[in-house]
């Protein structure tokens, strides 16, 4: 069964998810659902070849991993991030397994087949070209994983998705949009930027602020997580639960619940997959 859960780029299941979720564009939680959808859709282009459950199909030969195009300045950063990711992945996996089975884990190898964990953060690095060998069902090469090319595919599909959302959501603004073909080279250069997260954020911000992405210069808003934490604190003290209805926090949870229920109870079963 876990073989059916292996992620595939822009799969039929992913396309049906996008179609369904965009049908709620006009709902109050529509923009939040579009954000969730974009994250899940983009992950099909970065996480292909792995499944999000513990599975032998995720097992790889760690020593076979080859990073093919790293610039010298970024190598120490990649090594440090890989080490910290593996330690956190191992600790979380062992803790979760103990919680479920109430017994000690004999070795980290037993839990190292969860998602793309054995491949560390390499699937999520847009600038990376790399390859490795799977261990199950037999040793086989992954082939070249050309993240810059795959992420560019993802960006084009996301551009198309958000254009569709904009046409269906009355509050969206489309007049400053550009066809993807016009910005393809700019996006490609940003994806190829070999830098830590902060440096890649700066590359996107510079492109937006200089007018290279939109019809006129735009500022990319900072992460709003702090604002949502403040909303959560406010709602804990609210006397009337209706105060939650117009908050971003509540709209996000509405969207997340809608997405989860649809995927688990409708979309996957329609393809012969039952998951929980």
pLDDT digit string (tens) for 127-137? Answer: 999 999 999 88
Q: pTM score > 0.75 for this model?
A: yes
Q: If you average pLDDT over residues 87-91, what whole number do you get?
A: 64
Identify the burial level of 200 via C-beta atoms within 10 angstroms of its C-beta, where 0-12 means exposed, 13-18 middle and 19 or more buried.
middle
Measure the N-to-C terminal CA separation of the chain; round to a whole number of Å. 13
Q: What 3-state class would DSSP assign to 217? A: coil
Minimum mean pLDDT range among 4-13, 78-87, 189-198, 208-217: 78-87
For residue 20, the surrounding DSSP H or E stretch is helix 12-22
Q: Is the pLDDT of residue 108 over 80?
A: no
56: nearest Cα among 135, 132, 121: 135
Minimum mean pLDDT range among 83-87, 104-108, 160-164: 104-108
Tokens describing residue 163? 């254009």
> pLDDT tens-digit profile of 1-34?
678 889 999 999 999 999 999 999 999 999 999 9
């Amino acid at each position: 069964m876990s073989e059916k859960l292996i992620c595939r780029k822009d799969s039929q299941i992913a396309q049906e998810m996008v179609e369904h979720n965009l049908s709620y564009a006009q709902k109050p939680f529509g923009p939040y659902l579009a954000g969730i959808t974009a994250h899940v859709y983009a992950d099909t282009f970065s996480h292909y070849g792995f499944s999000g459950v513990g599975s032998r199909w995720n097992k790889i030969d760690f020593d076979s991993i080859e990073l093919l195009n790293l610039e010298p300045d970024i190598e120490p950063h990649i090594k440090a991030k890989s080490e910290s990711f593996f330690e956190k992945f191992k600790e979380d996996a062992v803790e979760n397994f103990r919680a479920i089975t109430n017994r000690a884990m004999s070795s980290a190898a037993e839990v190292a087949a969860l998602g793309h964990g054995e491949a560390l953060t390499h699937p999520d690095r847009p600038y990376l070209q790399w390859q490795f060998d799977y261990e199950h069902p037999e040793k086989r090469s992954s082939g070249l994983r050309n993240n810059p090319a795959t992420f560019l595919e993802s960006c084009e599909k996301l551009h198309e998705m958000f254009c569709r959302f904009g046409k269906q959501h009355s509050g969206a603004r489309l007049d400053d949009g550009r066809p993807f073909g016009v910005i393809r080279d700019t996006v490609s250069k940003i994806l190829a930027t070999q830098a830590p997260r902060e440096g890649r954020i700066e590359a996107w911000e510079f492109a937006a602020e200089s007018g290279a992405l939109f019809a006129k210069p735009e500022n990319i808003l900072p992460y709003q997580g702090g604002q949502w934490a403040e909303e959560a604190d406010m709602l804990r003290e609210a006397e009337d639960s209706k105060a939650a209805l117009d908050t971003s926090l509540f709209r996000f949870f509405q969207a997340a619940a809608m997405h989860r229920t649809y995927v688990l109870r409708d979309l996957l079963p329609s393809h012969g997959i039952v998951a929980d």
